[in-house]
Amino acid sequence: MAYKSAWFKSSYSNTANGANCISVAALTNNVAVRDSKQQNGPAFVTPSAAWSSFIREVKTGRWAG
């Protein structure tokens, strides 16, 4: 499914070689995430509240490798 929305690249994406890039788009009640290299490819769509919770946890270091 194609989403006509304003996509932006994550500020944490690896810009050196473009290998680890994601794009994010804010939809009405959801957030869509896709591989920046596959702009016409699939997107993962999740409720905005779930995305916000995930981002909060990433910022605390919970998902650090």
Higher pLDDT, 1 or 4: 4
What mean pLDDT is predicted for residues 8-15? Answer: 70
If we measure between CA atoms, which residue out of 38, 2, 3 comes closest to residue 21? 38
Statement: residue 62 has pLDDT above 90: no
User: Which one of 12-16, 28-32, 61-65 scores highest in mean pLDDT?
Assistant: 28-32
Higher pLDDT, 38 or 46: 46
3-state secondary structure 5-61: CCEEECCCCECCCCCECEEEEECCCEEEEEECCCCCCCEEEEEHHHHHHHHHHHHHC
pTM assigned to the model: 0.72
Statement: residue 12 has pLDDT above 90: no
